[in-house]
Every structure is written in structure tokens, then in C-alpha cells.
Amino acid sequence: MCNLYSITTNQEAIRTLFRVINRYVGNLAPMPGVFPDYPAPVVRNARTERELAIMRWGMPPPPRTGGAPVTNIRNTSSPHWRGCLKPESRCLVPANSFAEYAPEPNPQTKKKDVVWFALNDDRPLFTFAGIWTTFSGDRGTKSKPVPGPHQLYGFLTTSPNAVVEPIHPKAMPVILLTERARRVDARTVGRGQGAATAIAGRRAQDRDARGRQRGSRGGSMAMMARDTADPDDEGPPAQDGAVS
């Protein structure tokens, strides 16, 4: 699962590309490493428009299982996630790249490298398909809890494409490459469809788009770099959303 990504594009570029109406949400410094429970920018619905908000990465886990915040949601048919798949709970998560650990340790360092992926060498802006909610409990650490309410987000995952699969065969984030795919307003989802069905359809469309664009500089997913992992930089723990 993806527990590390970067967002280094400035607010104005995010606002322009994703048609955001509010112009300023405070200082938005480049974030070369976003880890679970970090605050980061998210684009969500604001009535008929979009707005930029800062939220913490990691949705509340299912009450019956507990555990760490859920950063990646795979099983969208789970009753726990069903309520978060409504149009008003969907969001876009801006990013420039994301990372996965290599499957095998580096022979020299004896540690697994961090492998970064982006659309191309320029690392242009794109979005993950996400969901968000408001949580009234504490976040942070046990020694330094941060009282709620908190606005939290996570992103959906799908089958990996040909570039990501050799590194992480289990899954990859759902990446939205077109404005049609990025629309999160209720009117853009087929009326009468269940939310889970609509999300699954968006996943299929996005996979098709990636397949059509593979090999072109504008839309291909590329492996960008391999960095030696530093245990001190792994950030807070998190889990994926593979719950039934």
C-alpha cells in the first residue's frame, strides 16, 4: 500500500488545474514527503463548486477491528466504507509522485529501497481519487494527542499497472488523469447507480485511460528514483482498508 507521496506544486497551480474557488488556505509549503496522519491539501465539493482544504491523511478504522488510521481503501463494498462513497464525501488528493517499498532489500544497504513513481520526469500535478470524513476523536500520538474534530481523508486503490506491479503487485492508488474523471459532483455520476458501482466504473475508466496514454510523455506512469529507506523517516504507522 502507498504510505508516502509528495505534493510540491503551489496553491495557484492546484487552484487552476482543479478549478478551485477559494484562493488561500494558509501557507502551503512544498511537501516532498507526506506520511500518514500528516496534514495535506485536498480538493472537495463545496455545493456546486470545489474548494481546497487541509486534512489529515488516514480515515478512522472499522470499530470492530480498530488499529491505525486507514490511508488506502481497497474494499469499497465493505459496509464501513459505504457511507463515505457518496458524492459529498469524495475528494481529490493532489500529488506529484508517490512511493512504494521495493519488494527485496538492497544488497548493499540490507534495507528495502523507496521507489518513487510519477507521470513523467517533470513530475506534473495529478490527483488520487479520495474520500473524506469528519472525526471527533483524538489524533496524533498517545503521548501528544490532538483533540478533534478532525477532517480526515484516504484514497482508493486499484490493480497496479505494468510500471508499478513489479514493485508492488498488490495494488496502487487510483489516479485521475482527466477532468471528466476528476468530477466529484453528484450530477456527474450516473443517476440510479450505487456509489460503489460508480466508483468501480471510474476505476475501469481510469485504467483504460492509463492504457491508452502509456508510452506518451503526457500521461505515462514512470519509475522515477530509488532511495535508500531511512527508518526514522517512515512516519506514523497506517493500514489499508481491506475490511469485509
pLDDT in tens, 19-54: 887 766 777 889 999 999 999 999 988 777 888 999
Which candidate, 144, 124, 145, 127, places its Cα nearest to that of 136? Answer: 145
Mean pLDDT on 175-196: 54
State yes or no: pLDDT of 207 exceeds 90: no
Q: How many CA atoms lie within 13 A of 183 on its CB side?
A: 11
User: Is the pLDDT reported for residue 219 higher than 50?
Assistant: no
Question: What's the confidence (pLDDT) of residue 242?
Answer: 40
pLDDT at 128: 94
All cell numbers assigned to 32: 516532498
Phi/psi at 232 (5° precision): -75, -15
Task: Note the pTM of the prediction, 2 decimals.
Answer: 0.77
Q: Using the predicted structure, report yes or no on whether residue 221 has a pLDDT greater than 50.
A: yes
Q: How far apart are the C-alpha atoms of 152 and 42, rounded to whole Å?
A: 10
User: Which domains occur in the chain, in start order?
Assistant: 5-234 (3.90.1680.10)
In 3-state terms, what secondary structure has residue 39? strand
- Cis (ω within 30 of 0) for the bond into 124? no
Instruction: Considering only residues 11 and 33, tell me which one the structure prediction assigns the higher pLDDT.
Output: 33
- Within 10 angstroms of residue 195's Cβ, the number of other Cβ atoms is 20
* Span of 31-35, 54-58, 185-189, 222-226 with lowest mean pLDDT: 185-189
Between 233 and 215, name the one with better pLDDT: 233
